[in-house]
Structure 1
Amino acid sequence: MKYILLLIALITTNLNAQNVLKFDKRNVQCEDKWVAYQMTKDSIYNFGFIYVDNQAGLTLDYQGDFKIDKKGVFKRMEKTEKQKTASFKYRLQPNNIAIAEIPEEKFKELNIEKIPSWLAIYKIDENSMEYLYGRGFLYNGYQEFEKALTYLEKAEKKNPNYKGLQTELAFSYNALGKFDKAEIALQKEFKINPKDCYTLKELAYTYNHLEKRDKSIETFNKMVSDCGNKAYIQETAYNLAFRYFQLKDKPNFEKWDKEARKWSDKENQFTQNLSQLAIEINKM
């Protein structure tokens, strides 16, 4: 019985050590955080600091490796000669690989600062319009729309007429299904930049989802006459075709199916999707 209890105690201690790290975050959720990656087959954890480089985007500053002993202490491993003389920075693309934030109480064990001193050069003018708009644009691109809004809405309070800001706000609102807010933002931007392709695309998308189909088509026609961006025009025609598909309106679906295909010289995701939708609508 004594040996069983001892074995249970050892297993529990080891589990507690591993549970210090909770692998429940994605890299885009860890800006300005120390993170650890899943344990290797050698029971080693790679770790580093994630930050945003104003030019490169989300970046990992790799700082080395550590192990967790049976008492749960983080033991940083000695750097190799190469690690001692070089800096390892990796541009990150958003993905669903689970990583863990390193708890603050473990910073001393790893001999790391909560905020590295070098990070200051990436935080210059944090309250400037360029910084706030840039961060919002970046996180919209990473499909982190709620986080993008934390920057964009702050920027709007400073200067609502900043070029492109209202369209970027609308992009977030559209992605989150807040079409009324998107319409208000886009109407503001439209007054400033009535021929901007990105603004017109988002406006047509917004009208389509507000069931203002006539306005969506009117905006599409304006894109054709004033815009010239074939990719945006095709995307808008596709969105109209898709909505008519949802409404089981076969004549209008076929009309916009044809229109969308007209704006592409080769097969792409839109034309492939339309082919499948055409098969499905014929079954209805």
Structure 2
Amino acid sequence: MKQLFTLLFFALISSLHAQNVLKFDKRNVQCEDKWVAYQMDKDSLYIFGFIYIDATAGLTLNYEGNFKIDNTGKFNRIKQDSIREVGFMKVRLEPNRVAIAEIPESKFTELEIEKTPKWLAIYKSDENSIDHLYRWGFLYNGWNECEKALTYLEKAEKIDPNFKGLQTELAFSYNALKKYESAEICLLKAIKNNPNDCYTYKELAYSYNHQGKTADVIKTYFTMVKTCKEENYIQETAYNLAFKYYETKDKVNFKKWKMEAEKWSKTENQFTKYLKLMETELNK
């Protein structure tokens, strides 16, 4: 019984050491160029590796193997077959909310790793180019990390504000962060450079809508009707206008924009479905 208690005590101490050293409070999209560990499995092993971004493949984990934490808090790397030991197993990652931990630099020596792997250099050769900055901003926007995206996109703008797609991508970040006036400025620049881009008009209407510029939203909508081929963007803009009038209980204008939105799809979709629900609510 005493021996069992001792084993349980040391197991608890080991667990506490792990909890103190490894804080599982990060998502994979927050760990670019970081050594990370995934939560312990049933064998008390931690998977670890280095997360980086491949311009083509996106977020990637360079798998390095497993380690255990002993009762003194030391990280002990588990030796494996030669392929895994050199860390050539790459895993493409999808952004998710699984909690992972950043490995403290104080543990690098124990795991026999360098702060910056030598192989990472091939992915950093052009990191100050506008192509790189735009691509990284685009990726982070796609992962809903818009504040991070801006750190790249704003640098890109200083190099070439007219780079294709840049102003619209900046506006996406600003709209997501509720900086609607900044988004509007970017989108008007984008339209000047490319007056036929429907996505840009959609984002502009969104920005106007959140600034209470309803007349400008309506004007943008009819520009889209004349200019755009992407009917889903046109429908979304009409839907947003209908929703605005639904919120103010303006039945006449709600009905008008409900009909406009419904024109752009032959079958029921998310927009027409919600419009019917709103109409039912208004008529109660």
* Separation (CA, whole Å) in 2 of partners of 1:181 and 1:66: 47
* Separation (CA, whole Å) in 2 of partners of 1:181 and 1:127: 24
Q: CA deviation at 1:9?
A: 7.4
Give 2:260's aligned residue. Answer: 259
TM-score, normalisation: structure 2? 0.91
The change in CA–CA distance for 1:85 and 1:118 in structure 2 (over 3 A counts) is closer
Range moving further from structure 2, 250-259 or 267-276: 267-276
Maintained 8 Å contact 1:17/1:73: no
Q: Is 1:133 aligned with 2:144?
A: no
Range moving further from structure 2, 8-17 or 66-75: 8-17
Any unmatched runs of 5+ in structure 2?
none
Give 2:281's aligned residue. Answer: 280
Q: Is 1:68 aligned with 2:46?
A: no
The change in CA–CA distance for 1:85 and 1:13 in structure 2 (over 3 A counts) is closer
Give 2:160's aligned residue. Answer: 159
Q: Residue by residue, what CA displacement relative to the aligned partner does 1:233-252 show, whole Å, maximum 9, x if unpaired?
A: 12212221222222222222
| Amino-acid identity (%) | 63
The change in CA–CA distance for 1:33 and 1:205 in structure 2 (over 3 A counts) is same
Q: Residue by residue, what CA displacement relative to the aligned partner does 1:193-247 show, whole Å, maximum 9, x if unpaired?
A: 1111121111111111111111111111111111111121122122212222222
The change in CA–CA distance for 1:52 and 1:86 in structure 2 (over 3 A counts) is closer
Any unmatched runs of 5+ in structure 1?
none
Give 1:234's aligned residue. Answer: 235
* Separation (CA, whole Å) in 2 of partners of 1:74 and 1:130: 39
Range moving further from structure 2, 217-226 or 257-266: 257-266
* Separation (CA, whole Å) in 1 of partners of 2:193 and 2:129: 21
Maintained 8 Å contact 1:17/1:70: no
Q: CA deviation at 1:18?
A: 3.2
Q: Which amino acid aligns with 2:253?
A: N
CA RMSD of aligned residues (A): 2.3
Q: Residue by residue, what CA displacement relative to the aligned partner does 1:90-123 show, whole Å, maximum 9, x if unpaired?
A: 2212111111001111111111111111111111
The change in CA–CA distance for 1:159 and 1:17 in structure 2 (over 3 A counts) is same
Q: CA deviation at 1:14?
A: 4.0
Maintained 8 Å contact 2:49/2:61: yes
* Separation (CA, whole Å) in 1 of partners of 2:15 and 2:174: 46
The change in CA–CA distance for 1:88 and 1:153 in structure 2 (over 3 A counts) is same
Maintained 8 Å contact 2:134/2:166: yes
Q: Which amino acid aligns with 1:15?
A: L
Give 2:18's aligned residue. Answer: 17
The change in CA–CA distance for 1:48 and 1:275 in structure 2 (over 3 A counts) is farther
Give runs of aligned pairs for residues 46-195 of structure 1, distance below 5 A: 46-80=47-81, 83=84, 87-195=88-196
The change in CA–CA distance for 1:137 and 1:42 in structure 2 (over 3 A counts) is same
Q: CA deviation at 1:75?
A: 0.9
Which runs of 4 or more aligned residues in structure 1 lie more than 3 Å from their structure 2 counterparts after TM superposition? 6-14, 80-87
SS in 2 for 1:233: helix
TM-score, normalisation: structure 1? 0.91
SS in 2 for 1:38: coil
Q: CA deviation at 1:282?
A: 2.9
Q: CA deviation at 1:84?
A: 5.4
Count matched residues.
281
